[in-house]
Amino acid sequence: MTETDHRFLSAFLRARSGLALNSDGLYLVESRLPAVCRRFGLSDPGELIAILRSGAVPAIEAAVVEAMVTQETFFFRDKAIFAQIQDIALPRLLEARAASRRVRIWSAAASTGQEAYSIAMILAGMAPSLAGWTVDILATDLSDVALERGRLGLYTHFEVQRGLPIQLLLTHFTQAGDLWQISAALRRMVSFARVNLMDDFSGLGIFDLILCRNVLIYFDDETKRDVLERVAARLAHDGRLILGGVETPVGLTETVVACPDFKGAYSHVGCNRISRCDRDSPK
């Protein structure tokens, strides 16, 4: 791949997914794009780049973005975070929402859905306290392939071994051949939708809890700031935004600040400027 092609691809990926190719970028290009070439019968990445430049084949454009975006996720990733969600965030939300009896949760950049289903399993364990409640869990990603896997709730043996306690596997999953499928009850708790964080997602409405974890690390500072501020605008006035363990808004934006009531190994970041909570927001 020529330097000109590499610069074009970098700009293309940043515009379409926010991905900023770092020093490992050339390695990722060389290791992931040949599979896209084979899928579409192209001779080499140079031919692929020429098609991207033409803008004539949206299917190839989507395939390149999906190939280059990292889809790393697993159940209960960062156990300390989920312990605090279970012990602090959700009980406080139930108390605060006692009048409306509705909670909205957004798992952004959800990949194949393990994060959203981890929240669903926690809520399933709180079922007696949620009788008569409406709980919406929205899982979004830019990959149609990942979203379809999430909707099916089918995971490999390796995937259910990563972070999922055995008792939850036995309670919520059934074996389907070589795969494990999460229960229909939990699948009904989570809705999946294609959302690109580079696009306008204001139509999603307002959420009480947002998880946008381990995605900002792939963006440059300008993109991080833009996404953080637009995500924060989707928070209820007392909502909470949870980022990945190595992600921070410090030095990027003053829209979000650390929440002093969430102690632990991982920072919980909340919005202190949204004063309006639109309880009639679309699902």
Residue 14: active-site member: no
For residue 233, what is the DSSP state? T
Strand order in the sheet with 190-194: 190-194, 134-141, 102-107, 207-212, 235-243, 268-271, 256-258
Catalytic residue among 5, 14, 32, 92: 32
The Cα 124–Cα 101 span in angstroms is 16
Looking at the chain, list the stretches that DSSP marks H as alpha helix, in order from N- to C-terminal side.
Answer: 3-17, 25-40, 45-54, 58-68, 79-84, 90-96, 114-124, 144-152, 157-161, 166-172, 184-189, 221-232
Dist CA 270 CA 272 (whole Å): 6
The active-site residue, picked from 16, 97, 141, 149, is 141
Burial class of residue 95 (count of CB atoms within 10 Å of its CB; 0-12, 13-18, 19+): exposed
173-176 β-sheet, strand order: 154-156, 179-182, 173-176
Q: Is residue 238 annotated as part of the catalytic site, yes or no?
A: no
User: Which positions are catalytic?
Assistant: 32, 141
